[in-house]
Amino acid sequence: MPDKISKIEHDIVNALKQVYDPEIPVNIYDLGLIYKIEVLDNYDVEIDMTLTAPNCPMVDSLLEEVQSALKALEDVRSVNINIVFDPPWSKNMMSEEALLDLGLI
Work out the average pLDDT over 83-93. Answer: 94
CATH number of the CATH domain containing 81: 3.30.300.130
Residue 1 pLDDT > 80, yes or no? no
What total number of domains does the chain contain? 1
Residue 24 in domain: yes
Work out the average pLDDT over 8-23. Answer: 94
Residue 82 in domain: yes
Residue 21 in domain: yes
Residue 105 in domain: no
Residue 61 in domain: yes
Residue 104 in domain: no
Residue 99 in domain: no
pLDDT tens readout for residues 38-70: 999 899 999 999 998 888 888 999 999 999 999
Boundaries of domain holding 22 = 2-92
User: How far is the C-alpha of 16 from the C-alpha of 1, rounded, in Å?
Assistant: 22
In this predicted structure, which of 1-10, 24-33, 50-59 has the lowest mean pLDDT? 1-10
Work out the average pLDDT over 21-27. Answer: 89
